[in-house]
Structure 1
Amino acid sequence: MTDLSILVVSYNTRALLLDALAAVRDVGCSRPYEVIVLDNASSDGSADAVAEHFPEVRLIRSEDNHGFAKGNNIAAQEARGAWLLLLNPDTALYPGALDTILAFGEAHPKGGIYGGRTYFPDGSLNIASCWGRSTPWSLFCSAFGLTALFPRSALFHPERMGDWARDTEREVDIVVGCFLLIRKSLWDELGGFDTRFWMYGEDADLCLRARALGYRPRITPDAGLMHIIGASSSTSGAKLALLAKGRATLIRRHWSAVWRPWGRAMQWAWVANRYAASAVLSTVLPRRFGPARDKWAAVWRSRADWRNGYS
Structure 2
Amino acid sequence: MDDSVSHNSAQLNEMMPADYDADTPVVSIVILNLDKPEMTIDCLEAIWKRTNGIPYEVIVVDNGSTAGNKAILESYEGPQRVLSLAINRFFGEGNNIGAEAAKGEYVLFLNNDVIVQKGWLPPLVEVLKTQPDAGCSGPKFIYPDGDLQEAGGLLDEDGSAVQIGKFQSPDQPRFNRMRTVDYVSAACVLMRRKDFIDVLGFDFRYEPAYYEDCDLCLKIGALGKKTYYVPASEVEHYESTTTSDKAHELRLNTIVGLNRQKFVTRWQDFLKTGRHDTLATPSSLVPETSRNKKTAGIYTPYNIIPGGGERYLLSVMRVFETLGYSLTLVVPEVYSRIRISAVLEKLELTLDAIEIITHQEAEQSRRFDLFFSLGNEICPPCKTLGDISLYCCQFPLPSAQQELDRRLPWLTDYDAVICYSEFVAEEIGKKIVEFDLQDQHLQVVSPPVGMKIDVPKSSPKSGILAIGRFFSGGHCKRQDMMVSAMKGLKDRGVQSRLNLVGSLHPEPEHREYFTKCQTDAKDLPVTFHVDAASDTLGDLLYKSSLYWHGAGLGVNVDKDPGNCEHFGISVVEAMAARVIPFVVNNGGPSLIVEDGISGFHYSSEEELVALTEKVLALPDDEIETLRDNAAKRAAQFSDEAFRTNLIALHDMIAQQKTEQLAQSL
TM-score range, shorter chain: 0.7 to 0.9
Q: Structure 1's 160 and 179: CA in aligned 2 closer, same or farther, altered over 3 A?
A: closer
The residue that corresponds to 2:25 in the other structure is 2
Per the alignment, residue 202 of structure 1 pairs with: 212
Q: Distance in 2 between matches of 1:168 and 1:44?
A: 45
- Does structure 1 residue 176 correspond to structure 2 residue 199? no
- Equivalence for 1:223: 233
Query: For 2:162, what is the secondary structure of its paired residue?
Result: helix
Matches within 5 A, 1:68-83: 68-83=91-106
> Within the alignment, does 1:132 sit opposite 2:136 as a pair?
no
How far has the Cα of 1:54 moved from its partner? 3.4
CA contact (8 A) 2:196 2:220 kept: no
Hey, what's the Cα distance between the residues in 2 that align with 1:193 and 1:300? 23
Partners of 1:53 and 1:106 in 2: CA distance? 34
Q: Answer yes or no: is the 8 Å Cα contact 1:245–1:309 preserved in 2.
A: no
* CA distances 1:54-78 after superposition (whole Å, capped 9, x unpaired): 3311101101101000000001110
Corresponding residue of 1:238: 251
CA contact (8 A) 1:248 1:306 kept: no
Contact between 1:241 and 1:302, CA under 8 Å: does it hold in 2? Answer: no
Q: Distance in 2 between matches of 1:84 and 1:305?
A: 40
Contact kept in structure 1, 2:217 and 2:227, CA below 8 Å: yes
Q: Tell me: CA distance 1:224–1:46, structure 2 relative to 1, closer, same or farther (3 Å).
A: farther
CA separation in 2, counterparts of 1:232 and 1:201?
A: 16
Select between 219-228 and 54-63 the one with higher mean Cα deviation: 54-63
Look up the SS of the partner of 2:244 in the other structure. Answer: coil
Whole-angstrom distance in 1 between the partners of 2:219 and 2:107: 17
Residue pair 1:175, 1:203 contacting (<8 A) in 2 also:
yes
AA aligned opposite 1:130: G
RMSD over equivalenced CA pairs, Å: 2.7
Give TM-score scaled by structure 2 length: 0.35
Amino acid at match of 1:243: V
Query: Could you give the per-residue CA deviations for residues 165-217 of structure 1, whole angstroms, max 9, x where no partner exists?
Result: 63211110011100000001111111111122211111111111111221110
Is 1:252 aligned to residue 265 of structure 2? yes
The letter of the residue matching 1:59 is V
Verify the 8 A CA contact 1:90 1:228 in the aligned structure 2: yes
Which aligned pairs between 1:149-164 and structure 2 lie closer than 5 A? 159-161=162-164
- The 1:48–1:248 alpha-carbon spacing in structure 2 relative to 1, beyond 3 Å, is same
State the partner residue of 1:59: 82
Where relative contact order (Cα < 8 A, 6+ residues apart) is larger, the structure is 1
Following TM superposition, by how much is the alpha carbon of 1:301 offset from its aligned partner in structure 2, in angstroms?
A: 8.1
Counterparts of 1:111-130 in structure 2, within 5 Å, are 111-127=134-150, 130=152
Deviation at 1:23, TM superposition (A): 0.6
**CA offsets, 1:211-236, max 9 Å, x none?**
12211100111100100012122187
* 1:14-46 C-alpha deviation (Å, 9 max, x unpaired): 221111011111112222111001011112734
CA–CA distance in structure 2, aligned partners of residues 81 and 54 of structure 1? 22
CA positional deviation for 1:51: 2.3
Shift of 1:242: 1.5
Query: In structure 2, how many angstroms separate the alpha carbons of the residues matched to 1:26 and 1:306?
Result: 50
Find the residue that maps to 1:37 and give its secondary structure: strand
- CA distance in 1: counterparts of 2:530 and 2:108, whole angstroms: 26
Unaligned runs of 5+ in 1: 140-157, 260-298
Residues 305 and 220 of structure 1, relative CA distance in 2, 3 Å threshold: farther
Using the alignment, how far apart are the partners of 1:10 and 1:305 within structure 2? 34
Structure with the greater alpha carbon radius of gyration: 2
1:49 to 56, 60, 72: 72
Q: Secondary structure at the match of 1:132?
A: strand
Question: What does 1:258-269 correspond to in 2, within 5 Å?
Answer: none
Paired residue secondary structure (2:26) = strand
In the alignment, which residue of structure 2 is the partner of 1:262? none
Contact 1:14 / 1:44 at 8 angstroms: preserved in 2? no
SS at match of 2:203: coil
Deviation per CA, 1:216-263: give whole Å up to 9, x if none: 10011110010001212218793231211221110111115xx9xxxx
* Conservation of the 8 A alpha-carbon contact between 2:35 and 2:70: no
In the TM superposition, residue 302 of structure 1 has moved relative to its aligned partner by: 6.5
Change in CA separation of 1:251 and 1:306 when aligned onto 2, cut-off 3 Å: farther
Q: Distance in 1 between matches of 2:25 and 2:118?
A: 21
- Measure, in 2, the Cα distance between the counterparts of 1:160 and 1:107: 26
Deviation at 1:47, TM superposition (A): 3.0
77-86 vs 206-215, greater mean Cα deviation: 206-215
Query: Any gaps of 5 or more consecutive residues in structure 2?
Result: 1-23, 273-510, 520-527, 532-665
Conserved in 1, the CA contact under 8 Å of 2:149 and 2:163? Answer: no
Against the structure 1 CA distance between its residues 218 and 246, is the aligned structure 2 distance closer, same or farther, given a 3 Å change threshold?
A: same
Instruction: Say whether the 8 Å CA contact 1:92–1:225 is kept in structure 2.
Output: yes
Q: Give how far 1:160 is off.
A: 4.1
- Whether the aligned pair in 1 keeps the contact of 2:28 and 2:58 (CA below 8 Å) is yes
Q: Helix, strand or coil: the match of 1:238? A: coil
TM-score with structure 1 setting the length: 0.73
Q: Which residue in the other structure is 1:304 paired with? A: 516
Is 1:90 matched with 2:113?
Answer: yes
Whole-Å separation in 2 of the counterparts to 1:118 and 1:108: 22
Distance 2:183 2:195 in 1: 16
More displaced stretch, 110-119 vs 301-310? 301-310
**Equivalence for 1:193:** 202
Identity %: 26
Between the aligned partners of 1:89 and 1:305, the Cα distance in structure 2 is 36
Counterpart CA distance in 2 for 1:41 and 1:47 is 8
Find the residue that maps to 1:65 and give its secondary structure: coil
1:254–1:113 Cα change, 3 Å? same
- Cα shift readout 1:73-116 (whole Å, capped 9, x = no counterpart): 00111000000000000010000101222122212231201100
Do 1:132 and 1:161's aligned partners in 2 also have CA atoms closer than 8 Å?
A: yes
Change (3 A) 1:95 1:160: closer
The answer to whether the 8 Å contact 1:119/1:126 transfers is yes
Judging by fraction of residues, say which structure has more helix: 1
Q: Could you tell me whether the CA contact under 8 Å between 1:242 and 1:306 is conserved in 2?
A: no
Counterpart-to-counterpart distance in 2, 1:310 and 1:93: 37
**Counterpart in the other structure of 2:221:** 211
User: 1:182 & 1:226 partners in 2: Cα distance?
Assistant: 20
Aligned AA (1:131):
G
Whether the 8 Å CA contact 1:247–1:309 is kept in 2: the answer is no
Specify whether residues 248 and 125 from structure 1 end up closer, same or farther in structure 2 by C-alpha distance, changes over 3 A only.
Answer: same
Q: Secondary structure at the residue paired with 2:138?
A: strand
